Structure 1
Amino acid sequence: MIKEEEKERVMQNSRYKWIALSNTSLGVFMATLNGNIVLISLPAIFRGIEINPMAPGSTVYLLWLLMGYTVVTATLLVSFGRISDIFGRARLYNLGFAIFTAASILLVFTPGKGNTGAAELVVLRLLQGVGAGFLFSNSTAILTDAFPPHQRGTAMGLNQILGIGGSLVGLVAGGLLADIHWRLVFLITVPVGLAGTVWAYLKLRDTGTVSQRQKIDWLGNGTFAVGLTILLLALTYGIMPYGQEKMGWGNPLVISGIMIGIILIIAFIYIELHTETPMFRLELFKIRAFAAGNLSLFLSSIARGGLQFMLIIWLQGIWLPLHGYSFEQTPLWAGIYMLPMMLGFFIIGPISGFLSDRYGARGFATTGMLISALAFILLTLLPANFNYLPFVIILLLAGVGMGMFAAPNTTAIMNTVPPEHRGASSGMRATLQNTGSALSMTLYFSILIIGLAHHLPAAMYQGLINAGVPAAAAAQVANLPPTGALFAAFLGYNPMAQLLPAAVLNQLPQASQQLVLGKLFFPELIAPAVMSSLHIAFYISTALSLIAAVASFLRGKKGLAVE
């Protein structure tokens, strides 16, 4: 009788772990897809709510729709992970599914137009970020609880395939759905969210250690969330024009925001070292494999977090127009041409996760970072107007590198922490990853703007003069902040149609109008400056990937898995 009961228990646990894997993978896929789907669909969204994102005063909505979701998610992950250790990971994961789905439904039916509609979208996107925070902070902890140590790498590999895959699928899905109707961009996650919420409520349960007697570290949670939010927002606004300056690093609000954010983060560290129930378990960094895994994760996130954005700028602003695509078509096709990266990750991700269960994470994670470094170096060898086949090979390499690193590294991190701290550890890991991505966007965009501000004015002025534009108008356009031109190309607008006043364009001869508004004029002007900046960004990513490889190698041969 006892043997039969034991057999039944084992069978139930075996079934449950696959339920946990499929549900958490669905949640992570939905959350990451939603993070990127607006990158490609923003032009259709702004047209739908009848707002010109390039108009003065509207850029703030563009910035918040691009970055708000990531900022909210990054700042809440650790807090949500720690709270989940107290109240239950499955329970709060399910709450995240419900919040995310409710926000998606509200986004579909956003009633406002103009600035009101844009503000409504921003607020609801932030609410989606709250739901995504619960999903991201608990998914790996739930999997670690459900799977035995010798299968966690396989589970993490499959889970992270859908996570990274969601971000890449979002690029294509956003373009396809936006061509039909902008509300479909938000509707696509509603049925998945409804099904996932009900499924998680009925099937997921807490199988790990839950510490209900512990208190919530409100002071630590508050200083961390507020400090990181202020810091990330200040860095984000630093890349925007300020007054007559091309960027906002001289803006007193940006400077004070950076200082306040750093002070609050320092205060947070002090609080965590002196409280009985800290939110951020700093003592976990005494575990060698945990510290090395998180350091390599953070560095790799900075190295590749802005990669998609940089490649999209390259494709949309230069390569696609040079190959005959109209600016309106470039958002969709940029996503399609980046699919080889997803293919490389899809092939290698689960394989490396499965093999790391047998042979440990160090070799796979270290090799993955070395392959990523190679991909970044190879990108610097491509001309602005490259042949597509070498680009495909490099994207495949980048995807392979990401796939070899992601699952083994996550498994190694989660294997080393005590069961009662898995929620907080999962949140810490996800926070470092998302914060690294946000910092990467700020870093690389700053490099791009600085390069354009240095090289573009002279090239723009000479090009416009040669096209017959009056000298005064040419000088005015050449000295505009390059952010406007980049955002225009990114959103699928013809940059020159946005930069040149209509009165000036209408006075030009027909041949000059066709030249300035053609597919070749803007890409050929910006190509030298963009490529110079991209090379710097790729060299920095190479260095960060190599340091991440060293950190990954120093984790030890095979971390001790904690049941």
Structure 2
Amino acid sequence: MAADRVDPEEGLPLPQRYWSIIAIGLAITMAVLDGAIANVALPTIAREFQVDSADAIWIVNAFQLAVVVSLLPFAALGEILGYARIYLIGLALFTLASLACALSSTLLELTVARVLQGFGAAGIMAINAALVRFTYPSRLLGRGIGLNAFIVSFASAVGPTVGAAILATASWQWLFAINVPIGILTFIIAAKALPRTVTTARRFDFVSAILNALAFGLIIAGIDVTTRSSNMLLGIAILAGGVAAAAALAARELNRTHPLLPLDLLRIPIFGLSVATSICSFCAQMLALVSLPFHFEGAMGRSAVETGLLLTPWPIALAIVGPLAGRLSDRYPASILGGVGLLIFAVGLALLAIMPTTATTGDIAWRMVICGIGFGLFQAPNNRTMIAAAPRPRSGAAGGMLATARLTGQTLGATLVAIFLALTPTHGEFIALSVGAVLALAGALASISRLSSERRARA
């Protein structure tokens, strides 16, 4: 299956390391793209299946829920059974589910296939960072994390654009069918190139996995029902059930040596602060990326095509800065790099919030570039800190928590935009961008506060 067991300090030898990077990059690109690519096709799919738009949204929600509830269980399985094995299982499931999506003839069939695809994507995402850690030598970990962070962020940002390009030349089924040949090729490469790592001799905790699924699933569903439905009491009841499940999970995991919910890692100050920083930053990112299209089209009168182009400078700037920030994090404290990055990000969001509706395309573009530079300077160093702070046997849990923090922040950010737009339709975008700037500033403070912990770790 995978290669011979890797020396954790030296990583994989060349050229195997390059093949492993290719396999990791292709798989995570597909997993992240499919989290956003289906949004563009929702109106088309709704018309073809003759269903309401509200029902078609489950094509997206089913995927996201499946990912969120299974990230930490897959991370735990990676530590027990081996990271490469779980990665290959996730990749195989994702590829087969993509074929099922393309062959679906009803909304129910497509939704079920999307759930399976989400589980496959979670198997990829949960193990992704751990495989990067064992692929690169320790001295080059920042470079590897930087490249990986760039791929994740760029794939997420260009998802709608890729979806629109496919729909312009083919039917919606090709949004999913294109994954099949790429998935098969990636599986062949991954089976030969991924690092083989030491496993942990312990049983998988099914009770904790169920509580984890209930906690994340009910909390997200409760927030969605509360904010987007007229039945607020039902939403509050679902949310309360999720909080109760989360409390039961925390109580069960509190004194375990290898908890599914990594409380042992969260007790490490630098790791816990990095998680908090990640949630704040990704929440701020989604507050901007979800609210800005409404602002560009509604308040500024731009077309849908113009809106897509106006959003483009952000991922381009991130693509340039992200890998550079990863290299810098091998030499300089991530607390400083991340703090400076989030301060720049906060300034960019504040400038977007106070931007006049008569702003020119150039005025919008340079503000978006500032946001991209700031976020790019923060992300890779923060991810490197999270992964490096965890003991090597807990790399899977650290990677699962990294992905969970990202998705938690993104979900919270999108939900807050919905709340702000519902409460104040005329000022919702301004409030969203302003809150995003405050959260980015809070993330900067959390990042800088890690400096003393980093110094102790280096000593």
* Normalised TM-score (structure 1): 0.76
Name 1:154's counterpart in structure 2.
143
Q: How many angstroms does 1:297 deviate by?
A: 0.6
Residue 57 of structure 2 corresponds to residue 81 of structure 1: no
CA distance in structure 2 between the aligned counterparts of 1:70 and 1:160, rounded to whole angstroms: 19
Tell whether the 8 Å contact from 1:289 to 1:559 is kept in structure 2 after alignment: no
Name 1:46's counterpart in structure 2.
46
The within-5 A match list for 1:477-492 is: none
Change (3 A) 1:257 1:387: same
Name 1:361's counterpart in structure 2.
334
Name 1:233's counterpart in structure 2.
221
Name 1:299's counterpart in structure 2.
280
Change (3 A) 1:278 1:12: closer
Tell whether the 8 Å contact from 2:288 to 2:349 is kept in structure 1 after alignment: no
Change (3 A) 1:11 1:177: closer
Residue 129 of structure 2 corresponds to residue 140 of structure 1: yes
Paired amino acid for 1:255: I
**How many residue pairs are counted as aligned between the two chains?**
450
Change (3 A) 1:539 1:409: same
Tell whether the 8 Å contact from 2:12 to 2:195 is kept in structure 1 after alignment: no
Residue 165 of structure 2 corresponds to residue 192 of structure 1: no
Paired amino acid for 2:56: Y
Name 1:508's counterpart in structure 2.
none
Tell whether the 8 Å contact from 1:168 to 1:335 is kept in structure 2 after alignment: no
The within-5 A match list for 1:483-562 is: 529=426, 532-556=427-451, 558=454
Name 1:245's counterpart in structure 2.
none
Tell whether the 8 Å contact from 2:69 to 2:217 is kept in structure 1 after alignment: yes
Q: How many angstroms does 1:369 deviate by?
A: 0.7
CA distance in structure 1 between the aligned counterparts of 2:11 and 2:242, rounded to whole angstroms: 50
1:219-255 Cα deviation digits (max 9, x unpaired): 222111111101101111222232xxxxx4x2x3211
Q: How many angstroms does 1:60 deviate by?
A: 3.2
Please, which of 45, 53, 61 is the counterpart of residue 56 of structure 2?
A: 61
Name 1:498's counterpart in structure 2.
none
1:481-540 Cα deviation digits (max 9, x unpaired): xxxxxxxxxxxxxxxxxxxxxxxxxxxxxxxxxxxxxxxxxxxxxxxx1xx111111111
Q: How many angstroms does 1:333 deviate by?
A: 4.8
Q: How many angstroms does 1:127 deviate by?
A: 1.4
Name 2:373's counterpart in structure 1.
400
Paired amino acid for 1:177: I
Tell whether the 8 Å contact from 1:75 to 1:224 is kept in structure 2 after alignment: yes
Name 1:93's counterpart in structure 2.
87
The within-5 A match list for 1:106-117 is: 106-111=100-105, 117=106
Paired amino acid for 2:189: W
Secondary structure class of the residue paired with 1:386: coil
Secondary structure class of the residue paired with 1:370: helix
Name 1:415's counterpart in structure 2.
388
Paired amino acid for 2:107: A
Paired amino acid for 2:41: S
Change (3 A) 1:153 1:10: closer
Tell whether the 8 Å contact from 2:80 to 2:202 is kept in structure 1 after alignment: yes
CA distance in structure 2 between the aligned counterparts of 1:549 and 1:297, rounded to whole angstroms: 10
Pick which of 346-355 and 75-84 moved more: 75-84
CA distance in structure 1 between the aligned counterparts of 2:273 and 2:199, rounded to whole angstroms: 26
Tell whether the 8 Å contact from 2:134 to 2:195 is kept in structure 1 after alignment: no
CA distance in structure 2 between the aligned counterparts of 1:277 and 1:407, rounded to whole angstroms: 26
Paired amino acid for 1:184: W
Name 1:18's counterpart in structure 2.
18
Please, which of 206, 219, 237 is the counterpart of residue 256 of structure 1?
A: 237
1:14-67 Cα deviation digits (max 9, x unpaired): 3333322221121111111111112222222223334342xxxxx1332x2233
Please, which of 198, 205, 228 is the counterpart of residue 195 of structure 2?
A: 205
The within-5 A match list for 1:367-378 is: 367-378=340-351
RMSD: 2.2
Q: How many angstroms does 1:318 deviate by?
A: 4.8
CA distance in structure 2 between the aligned counterparts of 1:185 and 1:306, rounded to whole angstroms: 26
1:140-166 Cα deviation digits (max 9, x unpaired): 101112222220111111111111111
Pick which of 20-29 and 401-410 moved more: 20-29
- Gap runs ≥5 in structure 1: 1-8, 54-58, 112-116, 243-247, 453-528
Paired amino acid for 1:206: R
1:375-420 Cα deviation digits (max 9, x unpaired): 1101112234532111111111111111111111101111111111
Secondary structure class of the residue paired with 2:451: coil
Paired amino acid for 2:120: G
Q: How many angstroms does 1:553 deviate by?
A: 0.7
CA distance in structure 2 between the aligned counterparts of 1:351 and 1:231, rounded to whole angstroms: 37
Pick which of 263-272 and 538-547 moved more: 538-547
Q: How many angstroms does 1:298 deviate by?
A: 1.2
Tell whether the 8 Å contact from 2:209 to 2:260 is kept in structure 1 after alignment: yes
Name 1:127's counterpart in structure 2.
116
CA distance in structure 2 between the aligned counterparts of 1:316 and 1:120, rounded to whole angstroms: 34
Secondary structure class of the residue paired with 1:13: coil
Change (3 A) 1:108 1:374: same
The within-5 A match list for 1:258-407 is: 258-319=239-300, 322-323=301-302, 325=303, 330=304, 333-407=306-380
Residue 168 of structure 2 corresponds to residue 179 of structure 1: yes
Tell whether the 8 Å contact from 2:338 to 2:377 is kept in structure 1 after alignment: yes
Change (3 A) 1:11 1:437: closer
Paired amino acid for 1:110: S
Secondary structure class of the residue paired with 2:254: helix
CA distance in structure 2 between the aligned counterparts of 1:383 and 1:120, rounded to whole angstroms: 46
Paired amino acid for 1:238: T
Paired amino acid for 2:72: V
* Normalised TM-score (structure 2): 0.92
Percent sequence identity is 26
Tell whether the 8 Å contact from 2:98 to 2:180 is kept in structure 1 after alignment: yes
Tell whether the 8 Å contact from 2:286 to 2:410 is kept in structure 1 after alignment: yes
Tell whether the 8 Å contact from 1:216 to 1:277 is kept in structure 2 after alignment: no
Secondary structure class of the residue paired with 1:70: helix
- Gap runs ≥5 in structure 2: 1-8
CA distance in structure 1 between the aligned counterparts of 2:69 and 2:297, rounded to whole angstroms: 31
Paired amino acid for 2:295: W
CA distance in structure 1 between the aligned counterparts of 2:174 and 2:134, rounded to whole angstroms: 36
Change (3 A) 1:277 1:301: same
CA distance in structure 2 between the aligned counterparts of 1:96 and 1:11, rounded to whole angstroms: 23
Tell whether the 8 Å contact from 1:236 to 1:442 is kept in structure 2 after alignment: yes
Change (3 A) 1:383 1:120: farther
Pick which of 184-193 and 391-400 moved more: 184-193
Tell whether the 8 Å contact from 2:310 to 2:364 is kept in structure 1 after alignment: no
Pick which of 101-110 and 257-266 moved more: 101-110
Secondary structure class of the residue paired with 1:429: helix
1:419-467 Cα deviation digits (max 9, x unpaired): 1110011101211211121111111211111113xxxxxxxxxxxxxxx
CA distance in structure 1 between the aligned counterparts of 2:333 and 2:131, rounded to whole angstroms: 21
Pick which of 271-280 and 78-87 moved more: 271-280
